[in-house]
Amino acid sequence: MVEIDGLLLRQFRDEDWLDVLEYGSQTKVAKAANFTALRTKKDAISFQNILRKDGVWAIEEKVSNKVIGNIGSFKIIKPNGLLEKSGYEVGYALNQNFWGQGLMTKALRKLCDLEKKRGTLFLQARVYSDNVASCKVLQNNGFKLQSQKEVFDVFLPNKKISELYYVKILTREIERSENNAVDERF
């Protein structure tokens, strides 16, 4: 468990399912985080179990003991099918009732600190260009825009959308290596 100004980053508990259903059923949250909106208790429990298995943190508001979102870092599979060993991709979701308060910026800052201490060389993130708030969260945490490409919208398969690729270098070691090496994964 990790404390940050009014928040706790902790493992998910079985009883969190109702809070997970609350934010996971919000269409704007699901679209921004690129998952299908949750509809039932079963959906929430399954989703929560996936997050727990992947080592994703629950974000709890300390005052209310309410889980208001999640944040985590995920293994990167390179185009050749091999795992990236020096970096991770970050992902997060936040209950829309808590948007605009700087909470995800704080949570991501702490995640970056934890990954740096763990020896991770870089973090990457992908976000749709229309998700301006998430772009700001990344930029406020030192992520730099590396590239952009058109992809099919998961929710509207006949529509293309611009996906932005951000990278944050956590150690100087990677800065001395070829800069293009980070870009190859996108």
The string of pLDDT tens digits covering residues 46-86 is 999 999 999 899 999 999 999 999 999 999 888 888 888 88
Written as one letter, the residue type at 43 is: D
Q: Where are the beta strands (DSSP E) in the chain?
A: 2-4, 7-10, 57-61, 66-77, 83-94, 122-128, 144-152, 160-169
The pLDDT mean for the chain works out to 89
Pairing of strands 83-94, 122-128: parallel
Give the global pTM. 0.85
Cα–Cα distance, 3 to 108 (Å, whole number): 13
Q: Which of 86, 90, 101 is nearest to 142 (CA)?
A: 90
Cα–Cα distance, 3 to 120 (Å, whole number): 21
The string of pLDDT tens digits covering residues 105-117 is 999 999 999 999 9
Residues near 151 by beta carbon (within 8 Å), at least 6 away in sequence: 160, 161, 162, 163
Give the pair of three-digit tokens for residue 101.
């308060």
Largest CA distance in the chain: 49
Written as one letter, the residue type at 3 is: E
The single residue listed with the structure tokens 């949750």 is 38
Domains delineated in the chain:
2-183 (3.40.630.30)
The single residue listed with the structure tokens 């976000």 is 127
The string of pLDDT tens digits covering residues 24-36 is 999 999 988 888 8
Judged by phi (left if over 0) then psi (alpha if -120 to 50, else beta), residue 122 lies in beta
The string of pLDDT tens digits covering residues 105-153 is 999 999 999 999 989 999 999 999 989 999 999 999 999 999 998 877 7
Give the pair of three-digit tokens for residue 172.
């100087």
Burial of 125 (0-12, 13-18, 19+ CB in 10 A): buried
